[in-house]
Amino acid sequence: MGNITLKLFGKTLKNPVMNASGTLGYGKEIEPLWGVETLGCYVTKGLSMKPHHGNPLPRIWEERCGMINSIGLQNIGVERFFEEYFPFFKRKKTPIIINFFGFTEDEYIGCAQKIKPDRQIIALEMNLSCPNIKKGGISFGKEADTVYEIVRNVKAVTKIPLLAKLTPEVKNIVEIAVAAYEAGADGLTLINTIPAAVVDVNKRTVPIKGGLSGPVVRSVALRAVYECSKAVPIPVVGVGGIMDTQDAVAFLMAGAHAIQIGTATFIDPYKIPKIIEELREYLDVHGYAGIENIIGITHDQ
Amino acid sequence: MVDTEAQIIENKNVVLDYFLLRLKPAKTMGKIMPGQFVMLKIPGNEVFLRRPFSIYDYDMGILTIMYKVVGKGTELLSKTGKDTLTSVLGPLGNGFHVNQRDAYLTVAGGIGIAGIHFLVKSLKEKASVFFGCSSHIETALLEDIANLNPMVSTLDGSYGYKGNVVEMLKNHLETTENIDREIFVCGPEGMLKNLKTSINKNKISCQALVEERMACGLGLCFGCVKKTIDENEPYKRVCKEGPVFDLWEISL
Ligand SMILES: Cc1cc2nc3c(=O)[nH]c(=O)nc-3n(C[C@H](O)[C@H](O)[C@H](O)COP(=O)(O)OP(=O)(O)OC[C@H]3O[C@@H](n4cnc5c(N)ncnc54)[C@H](O)[C@@H]3O)c2cc1C
Ligand SMILES: Cc1cc2nc3c(=O)[nH]c(=O)nc-3n(C[C@H](O)[C@H](O)[C@H](O)COP(=O)(O)O)c2cc1C
Ligand code: FES
């Protein structure tokens, strides 16, 4: 049997498949269908220092091969997460990545400080797509110097490995990736949703502006993973439009150490366990001893 | 709860834009509470997300949905033939709670009947059924509950009470004895708002089935929320904490 376990930040994950932040609730919601212990690692919904109500409606819209969401990061806050949900992951012995955000740099730092190291916490994943209130709503992740500064300052307050999750809405994502690496990021998550809008032609309005996800973003994500994983020596987690095992393999070959599945779960709630099973079969059929043998295989061309 | 393949065994036009879809899921769906719903895959590759539909009926392993054509997904569904395979996920959400009362009043506006039907079927004679629609043509939707003598209002006055269903209900409440009763309602937001204002004085218990655009149906995405009076956590998920809410707790 092909070995799909892998090492990430010194810890062993039983497979390279995670959920994308914000697409598997607080974890418990999927339990009527399958258990979170199936995942290589569970990624939390974006958490903030204080609870956050999120955006008014509409929050979702369908696109041809994807969807637009404007949830606005509704969450119960990092403290309540640790009181109400973390024990559940402890009990299930499921590794976890804490995705977090802030609207000011202090909020990012405060949030990271509140998270105490624990052997089950694999990493913190900082969402750099949030609007920076001080800078008039421009996201933190758009300029290399802002990314450098915030990653460095967060890194200074935590001992937990830090993944920087980047927005693709930038001039040159490789430059941003390098800035995050130089500031001390231990890994990158690529990519977040792509800013998008809808026009209601009948009503002559823009009913929703939000982030685009699903198959329509896949090739954009794949390019980011390919180029950034060649440019920096830290692990990259690939995310964006992965709908099946073929897509998952493509991201691994492009240089991702692990992959996250988001929108696909809404289309088929069993997609994650299916992909995990099929990755094992893929290795067998193609004669690879382990998943690590295909990671970045395209780089050697 | 299951996510299972299902075969369409009938997809028939009832009247106007209303259709009745009968499906045979490959796995049993288990126990279903009236007011619960399913996420249905629209067959073909045109529609990306699944669509939520109330469980109109579930009997002998056959799942029935009543739907109205309102957009791309329901339009395509209406053109889907018998024997087509699709997927259903369900039963989802929290349905209606039938507390011990002296009287149960079920109220539906238009396609809202789809959300109330299973409840009406289980309450049988114990339920008074109020149905509001545009004209007498839509009374065809009541065929299989005709024995319960539904009270009908039509906007054009072509059948029953002339006016909207909330006015008709209000008349009923004013002209009958004030006993311990509960209202179960499903209909458009405007109708719920109207109802809330009209029964505000007596604050009669009322459970409302509400709708919102959904992506997952499972509480994973937080896309389908409804605003409530809870100040700490105003936005509740329709698919997870709902779709049935206490009318007095939601902001309309
Ligand atoms: C819990 C629940 C139970 C439902 N039960 C039924 C039912 O039994 N029968 C039935 O016919 N419909 C029901 N609906 C509504 C149904 O889901 C929508 O009509 C359907 O999703 C529209 O899909 P579409 O692709 O045809 O429309 P779209 O092309 O997506 O949109 C077209 C129009 O439909 C409206 N619309 C889109 N989504 C919804 C929605 N979720 N609710 C109301 N309007 C919407 C849009 O505002 C737009 O005007 C239910 C909805 C929920 C949330
Ligand atoms: C409903 C929804 C909520 C999301 N919430 C978050 C979040 O809280 N934090 C974050 O970093 N990314 C969030 N994302 C982005 C996803 O994690 C992921 O980067 C993106 O959806 C692309 O992957 P996909 O195409 O597989 O969905 C969200 C995406 C969706 C669809
Ligand atoms: S539809 Fe995803 S949370 Fe309700």
Q: In angstroms, rounded to a whole number, what is the distance separating the alpha carbons of residues A46 and A101?
A: 6
Residue A1 has pLDDT above 80, yes or no: no
What residues have CB less than 8 Å from B129, skipping those under 6 apart? B106, B108, B116, B120, B142, B145, B148, B149, B150, B151
Contact list in B for residue A62 (CB cut-off 8 A) is 47-49
Compute the average pLDDT of residues A216-233.
Answer: 98
pLDDT in tens, B36-74: 999 999 999 999 999 999 999 999 999 999 999 999 999
Residue B88 pLDDT: 98
ipTM surpassing 0.95: yes
Nearest to A33 among B3, B47, B240 (CB): B3
Compute the average pLDDT of residues A143-163.
Answer: 97
Q: In angstroms, rounded to a whole number, what is the distance separating the alpha carbons of residues B8 and B64?
A: 10
How far apart, in Å, do the first and last CA atoms of chain B sit? 30
Residue B198 pLDDT: 93
Is the omega angle on the peptide bond into residue A117 within 30 degrees of 0, that is, cis? no
Residue A249 has pLDDT above 80, yes or no: yes
pLDDT in tens, B21-34: 999 999 999 999 99
Compute the average pLDDT of residues A198-218.
Answer: 97
**Under an 8 A CB cutoff, do A266 and B234 touch?**
no
Chain B nearest C-alpha distance from A300 (Å): 36
Q: Does the Cβ of A210 fall within 6 Å of ligand 2? A: no
Nearest to B235 among A65, A69, A74 (CB): A74
Compute the average pLDDT of residues B125-142.
Answer: 96
Ligand 2 centroid, distance to B234 Cα (angstroms) = 22
Contact list in B for residue A56 (CB cut-off 8 A) is 227
Contact list in A for residue B211 (CB cut-off 8 A) is none
Residue B81 pLDDT: 97
Q: At what angle do helices A105-114 and A144-155 cross, to 10 degrees?
A: 30
Is the omega angle on the peptide bond into residue A168 within 30 degrees of 0, that is, cis? no
Residue A22: nearest ligand to its CA?
2
Instruction: Read off the pTM.
Output: 0.97
Catalytic residue list contains A130: yes
CA-to-CA dists, residue A61 to A196, A199, A271, B79, B243, angstroms: 11, 11, 21, 23, 19
Q: Establish if A265 touches chain B: CB-CB under 8 angstroms.
A: yes
Q: What is the mean pLDDT of chain B?
A: 97
